[in-house]
Amino acid sequence: MKGFKNFKIGDVVSVINDTLSGKVVLIDQQILTIESPDGFLYTFDSTELVLNKEWNPKVGLHQKDSEIELLGNKKSNYRSKKGSLIKEVDLHIHELIDSEKGMSNFDKLSLQLNTVRKELEAAIAKKQAKIIFIHGRGEGVLKRELRTLCSKYPVEFHDASYTEYGMGATEVIIFQNKK
């Protein structure tokens, strides 16, 4: 894996020691700029990247639920409550990526909110009744932004059960026919 790799524009690559992947959009000698599925641009030395066909990380953020289920090593994030399934999504950054090296607070928040958007839209499409986002307590920035994002969808939201989650989770109730 050492030395220069022959990457070309358009190659899909993954970052070694991270779950980040993307498409090569610019090559300047050994420095490559990749665009993530979320549209963010990242710059890496060619020795930090591998072609996706060479390396398969255990779970990529852009993978579909069906692909994740096939991997079999991701624990279920569904809880059964009186016969219904409630999806839990842990938004703590260490649960979303292996390494936050080089990420600003804005990058982390963007990743978390993009995860909320994807999970919420998937839950709406699958006609789930509820989804719980675990955001932690902290300074409340993620909680505020999560609720602002949720207000753009046909949902209602409130603090999740204090006895189960403390002050660090939001329960989202999805209305399938709300106009």
CATH of the domain at 37: 2.30.30.140
Same domain, 54 and 87: no
**Residue 29 placed within a domain:** yes
Cβ within 8 Å of residue 38, ≥6 positions away? 110, 111, 114
Same domain, 50 and 108: no
The per-residue pLDDT for 69 is 38
The per-residue pLDDT for 169 is 93
83-117 pLDDT, tens digit each? 557 889 999 988 888 888 888 888 889 899 999 99
Same domain, 85 and 158: yes
Same domain, 54 and 80: no
As a whole number, mean pLDDT of residues 133-144 equals: 89
Number of domains into which the chain is organized: 2
57: three-class secondary structure by DSSP? coil
Same domain, 93 and 170: yes
Average pLDDT of the chain, as a whole number: 78
Q: What is the pTM of this model?
A: 0.56
Above 50 in pLDDT, residue 160? Answer: yes
Are the beta carbons of 112 and 134 closer than 8 angstroms? no
Full residue range of the structural domain in which residue 40 is found: 1-58
**Residue 64 placed within a domain:** no
How long is the chain?
Answer: 179
Can you state the angle between helices 141-150 and 105-125, rounded to 10 degrees? 40
- Boundary of a domain, candidates 58, 87, 104: 58
113-137 pLDDT, tens digit each? 999 999 998 888 888 889 999 998 8
Specify the CATH number for the domain of residue 123.
3.30.1370.110
Same domain, 169 and 93: yes
Above 60 in pLDDT, residue 82? Answer: no
Same domain, 25 and 82: no
As a whole number, mean pLDDT of residues 31-37 equals: 89
Query: H-type helices in the chain, by residue range?
Result: 65-71, 93-96, 105-125, 141-150, 162-165
Residue in the structure block whose two tokens are 């059964």: 80
